[in-house]
Structure 1
Amino acid sequence: MRKAMDYVPRRAAELIGEALADTRVVVVNGARQVGKSTLAEVVLRHDPNGVARFLDDPVTRAAATEDPVRFVRHDGLMLIDEVQRVPDLWLAIKHLVDRDPRPGRFLLTGSARLLALRSLPDTLPGRSETIELWPLSQGEIEGAPDGFVDAAFTHGADMRAGPSALLRKDYLMRAARGGYPEARRRESPLRRRRFFEGYLADLLSRDVKQVADIEKAGDMRRLVALLAAQTSGLLNVNRLAGELSITAPTVRSYIEILETVYLVRLIPAWSANRGVAAPKVIFVDPGLAGHLTAGAVTDASLGGHLENFVLGELARQLTWADTPVRLYHYRDRDQYEVDGVLEDNAGQVVGVEVKAAETVRADDFRGLKRLQRRLGPRFRAGFVLYCGTDSLSFGDGLTCLPISALWTTEAGRAPGA
């Protein structure tokens, strides 16, 4: 078994343990280099009969391809890393767990959204649970609670955070370092730049090819750069198609591929029938987006990267929050907008606006107030997250908090818990 270097405890470890207790197959999906293999090995150590199989090893991959049925036979927990490399293993696993439905049989990892891959011969409905692993959250890095989402729905606008010592430059520095464990280990900006360059090249040359045949890899690379230049902006497929001199359907298919390999994430519009229907585009890791735009830094681009940083932290928390929540954005035809809209299963909404300034004005709540008027009692709270130090009330249901409240806030008791 491989040795874990500088392992940072992940919140997903508990989720995986809970899933293995009652589910036959657990799949850990996420971007390349986020620590899936390391996390899976840590979980595997709790099973004395556990075995690990790594399909990036040519000999192991050849054995799996030659005789997938024999390859998956084992009495304890079996970890298969990068399982998408041998699609025939899915049928062998399905055959085995259908005849022996004990929980905790397989722990699978993959660097793409496995169920979206056309090469897979079958899925495992009712037999599997998928857990998404993002790059490290700020709470995982700092050993902090990471409880903003649950606390927002529990306490609403009464939620407060302690004074923060972080200012705009500190948040931008955190965003630039990103959350890939390997990138964070590199103290020098030059060394991190080398990591990001190699990471992107490897992703586009290897992972993308597992998803689809791309005739012009250069178009995909230029699309990634254009998306980074408008980080957290609305997706305008026709504009991107015009700049790349390719068709709009091709742009859509390329973006779908970039989502499949966990490079970008689309944040859908909330209530599109009364507003702008286009989704927002964020990068799964803000450090990579910052690397791609390092030579063209403006106040607008810095604001976009800071928003990407905040929305990414919220998206990470959704994978472990006790409150079932979906993340949207809001923009209406009158140009009122809210960067992040969190909605729970009961239809309660928390709005989040991101400001790169170190002070807050009443006008910064403009979009949140519009959302509050529209929703009435469904509006749980509205927060402006900014680069200042203090938590302050701005009227009924509206509060400003330091951005660090995202990871320093205790979750508290979730609704219905």
Structure 2
Amino acid sequence: MATYLPRIADQELEARLSVMGAVLIEGPKACGKTATASQVANTIIRLDEDAAARAQLDLDPQALFAGEPPILFDEWQVAPDIWNRVRRQVDDRAEKGHFILTGSARPRDDANRHSGAGRFSVMQMRPMSLFESGHSTGEMSLASLLDGERQTGLGTHLSFDDLLRRIITGGWPELLDADEDFARDWLADYLRQVVEVDVPEMGHRRNPGNLRRLLEALGRGVGQPVKLSDLAKDVGGDGGPIAYETLTGYLDALARLWLTDDSAAWRPHMRSRARLRTAPVRYFVDPSIGPAALNIGSAELKADPLALGFHFEALVIRDLRIYAQLHRGRVDSWRDENGNEVDAVLTARDNKWAAFEVKLNPRDVDAGAASLLKFARNVDTDRHKEPACLGVITSTGAGGRRPDGVHVIPIGCLGP
């Protein structure tokens, strides 16, 4: 049996089980939901594999709840009737932490499925961060940065080639020790399953070539606010833009499979009169998906520094989201009509917020710091608190707080 590497989600799951009767863990296939839930579950029912268990939902549903809690119902969306059964059990037992559900696809809203409010706590899992996989020391803590503390670290242990491999292989638990060729084959099969099986099962039985081209277009547009009209043109190609309804249906399916993870626009009160842009910035849930959709590896990324910068940004945004989740935080982007932008604005509990620029090349740190300071000066701090942290996240080198107050954060030092 493979050794379980602790996940940041372990802490969140424990906390949620202590206050709610059931916890729903959602995230893409193969990100580690089942392994994490299995660390605390005493009874495991794999609904996607166990036909007898699915049959019991109709014949003897009470038997599914006879095991010792916490009871894990893995891939619950395969047998969606289990939702209402668990909800009723939570009401009847009036106990905390009795059930865990995992799901790699979010079902459409169903009038027959009752609200889980007050019974279910919902948490999201993503593939592993660099800290979880052992590639970041974590000595520059996001929690401490949000507390306004000075942080230092040295990120030179993560070489340029190591960083490329982490982008190409991603944070999938099955690929942590894989070489690049195996990882690329695994990811190609993963996306083939998405195109040929997962999305059609969600009711989208149209041209699979369109969906492949959409994944490629999203791969080219990683880290950019690509408009729907531009995506429609890219997907349609010589045949002209695909229909808006088709495009939004595909995007909805990818979101329900937890494969996309776009950054919404942060809309603070600003002193500047410049109009804020509201288009989301496009990301996948893991940086490996973009290169896999484009069928490129580390050699191609190395030959295209501009594209590499965007895919590095995708890795950083993934890690920020994972670390922010411990603080009930979210990561957005900010752009105005004059071309000013900030890659990540992290908003946490108690209205704490921080802003980060992502620069692959450490020589670009000065430009990133200048951009952050200009942005912070224009935020209306009469309506928002002062930022807890301004930081430039880069690929390597020494980390610390500069005289201007901006932290330099090598990605191999960042942790929760």
TM-score (norm 1): 0.87
Q: Of residues 195, 199, 211 in structure 2, which corresponds to 1:204?
A: 195
Percent identity of the aligned residues? 24
| CA 1:123–1:144: 2 relative to 1, 3 Å | farther
- Structure-2 residue corresponding to 1:10: 7
| CA 1:52–1:155: 2 relative to 1, 3 Å | same
Deviation for aligned residue 1:62: 3.8
Indicate yes or no: 2:19 matched with 1:28: no
- Structure-1 residue corresponding to 2:173: 181
User: Following the alignment from structure 2 to structure 1, what is the Cα–Cα distance between the partners of residues 62 and 401?
Assistant: 63
Indicate yes or no: 2:349 matched with 1:354: no
Deviation for aligned residue 1:253: 2.9
Report if the CA contact (8 A) 2:155-2:411 is conserved: no
Deviation for aligned residue 1:139: 1.0
The amino acid across from 2:331 in the alignment is L
Give aligned pairs, total. Answer: 395
| CA 1:401–1:52: 2 relative to 1, 3 Å | closer
Report if the CA contact (8 A) 2:324-2:346 is conserved: no
Report if the CA contact (8 A) 2:19-2:97 is conserved: yes
| CA 1:21–1:388: 2 relative to 1, 3 Å | closer
Q: Which secondary structure does the structure 2 equivalent of 1:186 belong to?
A: coil
User: Following the alignment from structure 1 to structure 2, what is the Cα–Cα distance between the partners of residues 309 and 90?
Assistant: 34
User: Following the alignment from structure 2 to structure 1, what is the Cα–Cα distance between the partners of residues 67 and 177?
Assistant: 37
Report if the CA contact (8 A) 2:226-2:282 is conserved: yes
- Structure-1 residue corresponding to 2:246: 250
Deviation for aligned residue 1:129: 0.8
| CA 1:370–1:283: 2 relative to 1, 3 Å | same
The amino acid across from 2:338 in the alignment is D
- 1:260-279 Cα offsets, whole Å, 9 max, x none, are 11111011111178311111
Deviation for aligned residue 1:151: 1.9
- Structure-1 residue corresponding to 2:229: 238
Report if the CA contact (8 A) 2:276-2:336 is conserved: yes
| CA 1:272–1:61: 2 relative to 1, 3 Å | farther
Deviation for aligned residue 1:196: 0.5
User: Following the alignment from structure 1 to structure 2, what is the Cα–Cα distance between the partners of residues 126 and 96?
Assistant: 13
User: Following the alignment from structure 1 to structure 2, what is the Cα–Cα distance between the partners of residues 24 and 59?
Assistant: 26
| CA 1:380–1:155: 2 relative to 1, 3 Å | closer
| CA 1:272–1:224: 2 relative to 1, 3 Å | farther
- Structure-1 residue corresponding to 2:144: 151
| CA 1:402–1:51: 2 relative to 1, 3 Å | closer
Unmatched tracts of structure 1, length 5 or more: 45-49, 412-417
Indicate yes or no: 2:391 matched with 1:387: no
- Structure-2 residue corresponding to 1:84: 77
- Structure-2 residue corresponding to 1:96: 89
| CA 1:120–1:402: 2 relative to 1, 3 Å | farther
- Structure-2 residue corresponding to 1:415: none
**What does 1:16-415 correspond to in 2, within 5 Å?**
16-44=13-41, 50-67=42-59, 69-74=61-66, 76-77=68-69, 78-113=71-106, 116=108, 118=110, 121-142=113-134, 144-145=137-138, 148-155=141-148, 158-162=150-154, 164-187=156-179, 189-244=180-235, 245-271=241-267, 274-295=275-296, 297=301, 298-320=304-326, 323-360=327-364, 362-375=366-379, 376=381, 378-391=386-399, 393-407=401-415
Unmatched tracts of structure 2, length 5 or more: 236-240, 270-274
- Structure-2 residue corresponding to 1:414: none
Q: Which secondary structure does the structure 1 equivalent of 2:176 belong to?
A: helix
User: Following the alignment from structure 2 to structure 1, what is the Cα–Cα distance between the partners of residues 212 and 60?
Assistant: 35
Deviation for aligned residue 1:167: 4.1
Deviation for aligned residue 1:357: 0.9
Deviation for aligned residue 1:170: 2.9
Deviation for aligned residue 1:11: 2.1
RMSD: 2.4
Deviation for aligned residue 1:110: 0.8
- 1:54-88 Cα offsets, whole Å, 9 max, x none, are 11225235424433632433253111111100111
Report if the CA contact (8 A) 2:138-2:413 is conserved: no
Deviation for aligned residue 1:242: 1.8
Report if the CA contact (8 A) 2:137-2:413 is conserved: no
Deviation for aligned residue 1:120: 6.7
User: Following the alignment from structure 2 to structure 1, what is the Cα–Cα distance between the partners of residues 332 and 245?
Assistant: 24
After TM superposition, which residue ranges in structure 1, 4 or more long, deviate above 6 angstroms?
A: none
Report if the CA contact (8 A) 1:53-1:60 is conserved: no
- 1:344-385 Cα offsets, whole Å, 9 max, x none, are 344443111111113245333232122111125622332111
The amino acid across from 1:155 in the alignment is G
Q: Which secondary structure does the structure 1 equivalent of 2:162 belong to?
A: helix
**Greater CA drift, 224-233 or 239-248:** 239-248
TM-score (norm 2): 0.87
- 1:118-167 Cα offsets, whole Å, 9 max, x none, are 487223110011121211111111184486321221125x3222353334
